[in-house]
A and B are shown apart, each in its own frame.
Chain A
Amino acid sequence: MIASQLEPTVIKSGDNVIIRMPSLNAKIVSLNPSKMVSLGKFGSFNASELIGKPFGHTYEIEKGGTIVPHTTAGFDNADITEANNKEIVDNPKSQKLTFEEIERLKTMSLAGDVSAKEIIASLTENNEAFDKKTEFSKSKYILRKQRKFMKSFVPLETSVFNLCSYFFEFNPGKIRGIRADTLSQILSLANVYSNARILAVDDGQGMIIGALLSRMAAGGQLLGIHDGDSSNYDVIRYMNLAADSRDHLQTLPWSKLYHTVEPFTEQLAENATADDKSGRERRMRGHAKLSDTIDNLRRGEFDALVISTNYNPKSVIERLVPFLGGSRMLVVYDQSKDVLLETFTWLRQSPEFLNVQLTESWLREYQVLPNRTHPLMNTSGGGGFILSAIHLAPVDKPSTSSASS
């Protein structure tokens, strides 16, 4: 029997952690054990308290910034009752606590002198309309107050799913508006596996590059083509990847696509200083890296070409498809369908591609509670579009003479 050999995921010093607050707002925190993590009105805790702890628990913040695991109450079994909202009228006076009294409670709560439970209890006690509410709306009222007053949080792993969902919600522009379900379909369509060789263009700060990397292991190779001098795959740094994971990633600027690598000829002067030596070594390493990357590109026969670009997708495909193997997938993402239409039509007419499809993923999340199961009231309007096609082997080359890669 084969048991999972992967290291258990516990929170380590320096890890990036997504902190989900009671309001369902979230932030990414890089854990420095000597620092406090401030969650605003939800309190502050010592980062060191989280080190060594598992992800996924709910922690309550106590006085002084210590944290304790909070046993989640589980489903509340609110039953259908006779109560209804017939008697309830909108009345700001139904809450007998004054604004000042509530503010005082909040201040005491931040100092750790009163618990969220106590605040919510006094809010419901002093709310004249509370007893007239149905059990459902009582539970909804309490949930709403918990989201406001609970001093708790959930540390979440920066998994590909969690990271993509986080950026999609709080900074969609960074990742070119790609939603996790759409991203997941790219990985399936591109047939990413441990030692695949993948060519990619990701102008969405590495969300796609990172997702591809996460599915690869020793032997896999990912080559990212980027504009400018250096790549911006910022998302990857949040992924807590093992140190060797980045070894699978090579990057090449567009401007070097047709670059010819000359042998490294720089000589050290007779009176070279230590700085000169280390400078030369750095340039030599850079030269070797560029040379390796270009060799890898020129070898062609990549197992997938994945593109998310701000440039004309058709022009990008035309430049990179010669490096894609036969019976391998081309997958293009864009936030907007319009951007892909011309490319889609062109691919459909091209004899180099089969099974050309333009799709949009549709995702709906539901609340599941006893007697209260329904789709969430708020959802995202869209998660992006995927253009995919099977690339055929070139017909002009006599295939028998080509060596296997």
Chain B
Amino acid sequence: MFHQYKTLIEDGDLVVVYLNPGSMLTTTVKAGDMLNNKYGNFRHDDMIGLKYGSMVKSRVGTGFVYLLHPTPALWTQVVPHRTQILYLPDISFISMYLDLKPGKVVLESGTGSGSFSHSLARTIAPTGHLYTFEYHELRAETARKEFIEHKLTDVVTIEHRDVLANGFGKVGIADAVFLDLPAPWDAVAAAKESLRRDTTGRVCSFSPCIEQVQRTALALDEHGFSDIRMYECLVKDYETRTLPMPDIEEAINGQKINFKPNWSERKKRKLESGSGTPTGEGGAGSEIMISKPVDQARGHTSYLTFAILAPEANN
């Protein structure tokens, strides 16, 4: 599912049910079952045979929902939070910096809620492998069940293990190591042990506090890692609107224009009609299309500390 798209929804498939921009949930389609929410009652039988990305209508009332194909990015938006999770900007940046691609072997600790694990698995499948470690027994169990339900066990192995105390138990096998731990500096030696020594090894430590970064960087330096770089990555969401911008002559002539200060008017989705036409094409000079960042944004997630372990020089 997460590393292989399909076209049609079949009995037993996982779907992401999209209610509105702020509300999505997942359900496993099962003949005979019913999905009930504030938009109506939706029969699973009506979903089977539809294409992913289809709309399904309630059997009562006029409600409808969309059925989406699960992806790691959507999973990040719907995953039940058992811990603080990684979001798309960090996930993306780390994956590219660590040069992840099909075939790579990656170690992750801790698994947490498994948000990043899904992306990692998708990126390195089908020939790579993710070993993910979680020291919290219940969280490890929950993640294990999810990986089974999501058919990821061919590329993901989860282990209930305290990496800080016991290391990874893997020697010289990994292309990259990702540390999301309270005391990552204590896992640097274990990370080094697990990395391949015949090619460039890469490590990323994900820590919310600058003090953690400083200690981790020192530990990386002491253990012979090089090119220690640290970044912060966030995204800004924008919204647009069409703004009337009449010349001041209008006011001189005694007109008072009604300027709406409100940005958050969402256009109602049109159900029928083909594709919409832009409303932004106002009269000459009287309207412009403008944009601004949305009012609330995530201001910090974590600092991303990277380092490489160059292979032994052969001279």
Measured CB to CB, the residues of A under 8 A from B are: 1-10, 52-58, 68-69, 72, 74-75, 154, 157, 159-161, 180-181, 183-185, 187-189, 191-196, 211, 214-217, 301, 303, 318, 325-329, 337, 341-342, 344-346, 348-352, 354-355, 357-368, 370, 373, 385, 390-393, 395, 399-400, 402, 404-405
Counting residue pairs across A and B whose Cβ atoms lie within 8 Å, the total is: 278
CA distance A120 to B158 in the complex (A): 52
Contact A390 B68 (CB under 8 A): yes
Q: Which 9 A-B pairs have the closest CB atoms?
A: A326-B53, A327-B53, A349-B276, A8-B199, A3-B173, A184-B92, A327-B52, A184-B96, A4-B105
Contact B96 A365 (CB under 8 A): no
Contact A183 B96 (CB under 8 A): yes
Query: In chain B, what residue has the closest Cβ to A357?
Result: B237
Q: Of B226, B238, B267, B311, which is within 8 A of A349 by CB?
A: B267
Chain B residues within an 8 Å CB radius of A3? 105, 172-173, 196
Pairs across A and B, CB under 8 Å, 5 listed: A2-B129, A191-B71, A196-B5, A325-B51, A362-B234
Query: In chain A, what residue has the closest Cβ to B15?
Result: A327
Chain B residues within an 8 Å CB radius of A161? 96-97, 99
Query: In chain A, what residue has the closest Cβ to B176?
Result: A4
Q: Does B25 have its Cβ within 8 Å of any Cβ on chain A?
A: no
Q: Does B126 have its Cβ within 8 Å of any Cβ on chain A?
A: yes
Q: Beyond A161-B97, A363-B232, A404-B7, is A217–B127 a contact (Cβ under 8 Å)?
A: yes
Chain A residues within an 8 Å CB radius of B128? 4
Contact A55 B122 (CB under 8 A): no
Contact B54 A326 (CB under 8 A): yes
Binds A, one of B135-143, B209-217, B255-263: B209-217
Instruction: List B189-208 residues whose CB lies under 8 Å from chain A.
Output: 196, 198-200
Cβ of B244 to closest chain A Cβ, rounded Å: 15
Contact B278 A193 (CB under 8 A): no
Chain B residues within an 8 Å CB radius of A337? 238, 291
Contact B313 A393 (CB under 8 A): no
Cβ of A375 to closest chain B Cβ, rounded Å: 8
Count of interface residues, chain B, beta-carbon cutoff 8 Å:
102
Q: Of B96, B172, B269, which is within 8 A of A160 by CB?
A: B96
Chain B residues within an 8 Å CB radius of A53? 313-314
Chain A residues within an 8 Å CB radius of B69? 327-328
CA distance A354 to B97 in the complex (A): 30
Instruction: List B1-44 residues whose CB lies under 8 Å from chain A.
Output: 3-8, 18, 21
Cβ of B4 to closest chain A Cβ, rounded Å: 7
